[in-house]
Amino acid sequence: MKKLAIAALIAAGFMSSAYGVGDADAGKGKAAACGACHGADGNSLVPNFPKLAGQHSAYLSKQLADFKSGARTDATMAPMAAPLSEQDIEDLAAYFSSQSQSAGKGNPELVALGDKIYRGGNPATGVAACIACHGPTGAGNPAANFPKIGGQQTAYVVKALNDFKSGARSNDANKMMRGVAGKMTADEIKAVAEFVTGLH
């Protein structure tokens, strides 16, 4: 038992040094270039650009690292991430995760269908319920690196789901999101996105 505890402590120390610890104050100074698209505090006012405020730090770090490595492709983000050091990435993630996300509101005509899919999926077509990974309020699961999606921009959620559906985005663990989005209809994607926007 003692050996197991020591091994766990060593592993934890390795994990923290491998991923680093971000400095939110340093990240604020580095976030100026991000503000044009994502807002100075991470609350994007542009529908196609995601809100970063309040997102889990580890998730943000992974996405930036994936843009840098090419594991996730985007013509705008790739050159922004390319010059970032590992510490820059951790600092930016710490800053944006420490910010408060602004509330959103979905289209009431589509929210009912979105609620149904989010909470219960679509058993007839094999669409899994979003709530299983992203939680009842859309807060996600930091331990599993499932992102916070509640309050996110509708247009961005539609884009993300369509990118997973088409395979244009493939940096999801075990093809989980590609599997879910691949079974969703265009109407279901739009409805879920509208519901998620107003979810808190």
Task: Please give the mean pLDDT across all residues of the chain.
Answer: 92
Residue 127 falls inside a structural domain: yes
Helices (H) and strands (E) in the chain, counts: 11, 0
Last residue of a domain, one of 78, 97, 116: 97
Question: What pLDDT score was predicted for residue 16?
Answer: 38
Q: Are residues 122 and 176 in the same domain?
A: yes
Last residue of a domain, one of 68, 97, 126: 97
Q: How many domains does the chain have?
A: 2
Residue 7 falls inside a structural domain: no
Q: Are residues 31 and 83 in the same domain?
A: yes
- Model confidence at 10: pLDDT above 60: no
- Model confidence at 177: pLDDT above 70: yes
CB 171 within 8 A of CB 72: yes
Question: What pLDDT score was predicted for residue 8?
Answer: 38
Question: What pLDDT score was predicted for residue 12?
Answer: 40
Q: Are residues 83 and 114 in the same domain?
A: no
| Residue ranges making up the domain that contains 119 | 108-197
End-to-end CA distance of the chain: 42
Q: Are residues 90 and 118 in the same domain?
A: no
- Model confidence at 14: pLDDT above 50: no
Q: Are residues 133 and 191 in the same domain?
A: yes
Question: What pLDDT score was predicted for residue 200?
Answer: 87
* Across 72-84, average pLDDT: 97
42-52 pLDDT tens trace: 999 999 999 99
Whole-structure pTM value: 0.89
- Model confidence at 82: pLDDT above 70: yes
Q: Are residues 125 and 48 in the same domain?
A: no
Write the burial class of residue 108 (CB in 10 Å: 0-12 exposed, 13-18 middle, 19+ buried). Answer: exposed
Q: What is the CATH number of the domain that holds 50?
A: 1.10.760.10
Residue 178 falls inside a structural domain: yes
Count Cβ atoms below 10 Å from residue 2 Cβ, excluding itself.
Answer: 6
Rounded to 5, what percent of the chain is helix, strand, coil? 60, 0, 40
Residue 113 falls inside a structural domain: yes
